[in-house]
Chain A
Amino acid sequence: MRTALFRSMAALLAAGGAALLPAAALAAPTPSPGATPVNRAGTSFLSATPITAGQPVRVDASLGDHLYWSFPATAGQVHEISATVTFPKGRSGASTWTVDVFDGLRRRQACTAGAQTPTVDAKASNVVLGCTLREVRPWAEPWSADPLPGTYVIRLSVIDLPEPDLGAPIDVDLLVGTIADRGASADDGELAAPLVPNTKAGTVLNAVPPVDAEADDEGDSLADWLPDLGSRWVWTGIGGALAAVAGVFGFAMTRRPRRR
């Protein structure tokens, strides 16, 4: 059914002449106004090109390249990635594409919706990929694989194709959109540091480093003690007040009006 959809889409595009509008416009995310378009892509986790949600990407590449971008995410957000690969030239056979998403620890992330690995036949003039991620949790146990705040890496690649097609030019359009942002409460935990990969070159140590005098984490200011808006304390406090008002109102309803 999916291939049928693409075939009809391709036919539509062909019939509509060379009006090669990026089909990304069909997908849900839209570029945010004023965002600077990106025309670069990295080719490894280390060299992934940083982008932000709403920033459109358009880059020329070769069929067979593995293209990497990274974007930041905070707790409560849900991201949707949509990508369109356009083929200016014909190909000799069907090809299968994939958009993989990894968190800051290079752990594979699941897509909850979207055409993550579409296959197109040789005649198709483009292929549309999509992936909706899970909601980013504010905290998770170290042993879990839940999506956490930090950097996410997108990898777009072709995973199956006839070898002679490799190296041909392609145009890639990509857009990351934040489709929901529920925020997060500090009550639900917080990571001490988001999952942002350390990209500095490492240092091999000669000995276990001595424990330096721990900098005492002072700064228990008043602001730390006050519950933040949206915390359980505030919600429950307001609920209690409403209950009291409703109780008085209910009590008053049972008095006879004539007694007044």
Chain B
Amino acid sequence: MINFRRSSAVLLGLLATTALAGPVPAQADEETAPEPPRVELVLDVSGSMRAADIDGRSRISVAQQAFNEVVDALPEETQLGIRVLGATYRGQDKKVGCKDTQQIVPVGPVDRSAAKAAVATLRPTGFTPVGLALRSAAQDLGTGATTRRIVLITDGEDTCAPPDPCEVARELAAQGTSLVVDTLGLAPDEKVRRQLLCIANATGGTYTAAQSAEELTDRIKQLVERAGDTHTRAPTVVGGTSACDSAPLLAPGVYADREAFSEHRYYRVPIRPGQELRASVSMALDRAVNRDYGVLLRATAADGRELVRGADAGSGRADVLSAGLRWSATADDEDAAEAEESPAPIVEPTTVCLVVSNSFAPRPGTAATPGMPVELTIDVVPAAPAPDGPDLGRGWMLLLLLTVAGLITGLLAGLLTRWWVATWREN
């Protein structure tokens, strides 16, 4: 009854090749091999990690065991670094204690035994400068075209704000290099949970409350694996403008931008006759917003006339809200297509403006800057003309109808012939 057809690899290959068949961007794609995935584990070694409340073991020993297993199972190409916070300063001076963060394993190809040895010597000690540690970790990971991932493991809330770690995370995510912070809470209380959720939301990461050594190990392994799977899919940062004339001209691909509440951002895409524009936009809910929200993507001509729009609205908990549209030159642009066949084939591409707007509203106390993350996907493909199928039919009903009609016609013709022959004979 259920008819399964496994989609073949051939189809996937076809999809992949056709997807790449857009116009060639002005600059050739870099042929260099992609960067290896870069991950940094940031571990809280503050005094509270001494608490022995995970399966009867202390939090730090559970974390150490998890790190050892993660280092053992690390994929070959992944570059892993480890940074600790609150690991050395034993005093009570907050000013000094809040600068206590060190990178104990530099980001790079991992020397497993050295990394394990460095982790084994850690003893719970000082304060919890999460904000500073995040900032330093982002520096450790460097800048580049691929996504960097920070895995933050902590059991207590930041004791050193300002800077507020969540603000720091949002600021880091807006800096240009794609950065994701995944957070893990060890036996977290309400304040820790709020803080870690806020950090994860601000960077598009995930939050996990680990209650056992096994959960912690599995989750870190999964995150490191995910970093390896997905780090190359990072968008290009672009800055949309507030008017069409000065908007950046985009080739097919994925772009990232930031848009403030109620802002309109413009981008331009050149489209030749016979081409179809495909655009989609996602806005991430990286902070607390009012319950109902929407996003609108409009394609307009250079004179502001709307060509097509895509919109979506939502409410409640979500990670992104997205909309998309297709548009191809038709009707009034056909003149241009005909002009192409004239002796001077100079065809000016139509420049389509894309306008991204939103109806998000901040809750009281929600920061308005930097803007919310926008991800814009542009593709230009050959247009698909309307089918001019023949005025014919298909299907079994058609065959039945034609057969019955033929039969009736034959019968009538036969009867008529009989009657006509009979009357002709009589005369």
Which of B254, B328, B382, B401 counts the most A-chain CB atoms under 10 A from its CB? B254
Contact of B225 with A108 in the complex, beta carbons under 8 Å: no
CA of A36 to CA of B4, assembled, Å:
15
Contact of A250 with B386 in the complex, beta carbons under 8 Å: no
Contact of B347 with A211 in the complex, beta carbons under 8 Å: yes
Contact of B406 with A245 in the complex, beta carbons under 8 Å: yes
Contact of B417 with A254 in the complex, beta carbons under 8 Å: yes
CA of A234 to CA of B398, assembled, Å:
12
Task: Please tell me which one of the listed residues A62, A72, A230, A234 contacts residue B7 in the complex, with CB atoms under 8 A apart.
Answer: A72
Nearest B-chain residue to A158, judged by Cβ: B317
A151 interface residue per 8 A CB criterion: yes
CA of A105 to CA of B322, assembled, Å:
9
Contact of A193 with B254 in the complex, beta carbons under 8 Å: no
**B331 partner residues in chain A, CB cutoff 8 A:** none
Contact of B402 with A243 in the complex, beta carbons under 8 Å: yes
Stretch of B91-99, B134-142, B387-395 at the chain-chain interface: B387-395
Q: How far is the CB of A166 from chain B (nearest CB, A)?
A: 6
Task: Please tell me which one of the listed residues B24, B346, B375, B413 contacts residue A46 in the complex, with CB atoms under 8 A apart.
Answer: B375
Nearest B-chain residue to A250, judged by Cβ: B410
* Binary B-proximity of A64-93 (CB < 8 A = 1, otherwise 0): 111000011110010000000000000000
Task: Please tell me which one of the listed residues A28, A103, A188 contacts residue B324 in the complex, with CB atoms under 8 A apart.
Answer: A103
Q: How far is the CB of B204 from chain A (nearest CB, A)?
A: 6
B334 interface residue per 8 A CB criterion: no
A242 interface residue per 8 A CB criterion: yes
Q: How far is the CB of A192 from chain B (nearest CB, A)?
A: 4
Contact of A102 with B209 in the complex, beta carbons under 8 Å: no
* Binary B-proximity of A89-117 (CB < 8 A = 1, otherwise 0): 00000000000001111111000000000
Contact of B3 with A180 in the complex, beta carbons under 8 Å: yes
A and B contact pairs by CB, cutoff 8 A, 13 listed: A40-B229, A42-B226, A42-B229, A105-B279, A106-B323, A108-B312, A178-B5, A191-B384, A198-B253, A208-B349, A232-B392, A239-B399, A243-B402
**Prevailing SS type, chain B contact patch:** mixed
Asked if A72 meets B204 with Cβ closer than 8 Å, knowing A187-B387, A192-B381, A232-B392, the reply is no
A residues 164-206 near B (Cβ < 8 Å) are 164, 166-169, 177-181, 185, 187-206
Nearest B-chain residue to A237, judged by Cβ: B392
Contact of A107 with B248 in the complex, beta carbons under 8 Å: no
Not counting A29-B2, A167-B209, a sample of 20 additional A-B residue pairs whose C-beta atoms are within 8 angstroms of each other reads A32-B6, A42-B226, A49-B229, A107-B310, A167-B207, A180-B3, A187-B390, A189-B389, A190-B384, A192-B276, A194-B15, A198-B377, A200-B20, A201-B235, A203-B253, A205-B270, A234-B394, A242-B402, A251-B411, A251-B417
Asked if A235 meets B398 with Cβ closer than 8 Å, knowing A179-B2, A196-B18, A251-B411, the reply is yes
CA of A244 to CA of B413, assembled, Å:
13
Contact of A232 with B393 in the complex, beta carbons under 8 Å: yes
Asked if A246 meets B410 with Cβ closer than 8 Å, knowing A29-B2, A187-B389, the reply is yes
Asked if A200 meets B349 with Cβ closer than 8 Å, knowing A44-B320, A72-B7, the reply is no
**A177 partner residues in chain B, CB cutoff 8 A:** 2, 4
Contact of B254 with A247 in the complex, beta carbons under 8 Å: no
Interface size, A (range): 35 or more
Contact of A198 with B310 in the complex, beta carbons under 8 Å: no
Contact of B405 with A201 in the complex, beta carbons under 8 Å: no
**B281 partner residues in chain A, CB cutoff 8 A:** 106
CA of A108 to CA of B324, assembled, Å:
9
| Top 3 closest pairs, chain A to chain B, by CB | A202-B253, A250-B410, A254-B414
Contact of A202 with B235 in the complex, beta carbons under 8 Å: yes
Contact of A201 with B234 in the complex, beta carbons under 8 Å: yes
Contact of B226 with A40 in the complex, beta carbons under 8 Å: yes
Contact of A205 with B3 in the complex, beta carbons under 8 Å: no
Nearest A-chain residue to B308, judged by Cβ: A143
CA of A191 to CA of B196, assembled, Å:
45
Nearest B-chain residue to A252, judged by Cβ: B414
Contact of A188 with B390 in the complex, beta carbons under 8 Å: no
B29 interface residue per 8 A CB criterion: yes
Contact of A60 with B197 in the complex, beta carbons under 8 Å: no
Contact of B387 with A189 in the complex, beta carbons under 8 Å: yes
CA of A63 to CA of B175, assembled, Å:
29
Contact of A47 with B230 in the complex, beta carbons under 8 Å: yes
A141 interface residue per 8 A CB criterion: yes
Nearest A-chain residue to B280, judged by Cβ: A106
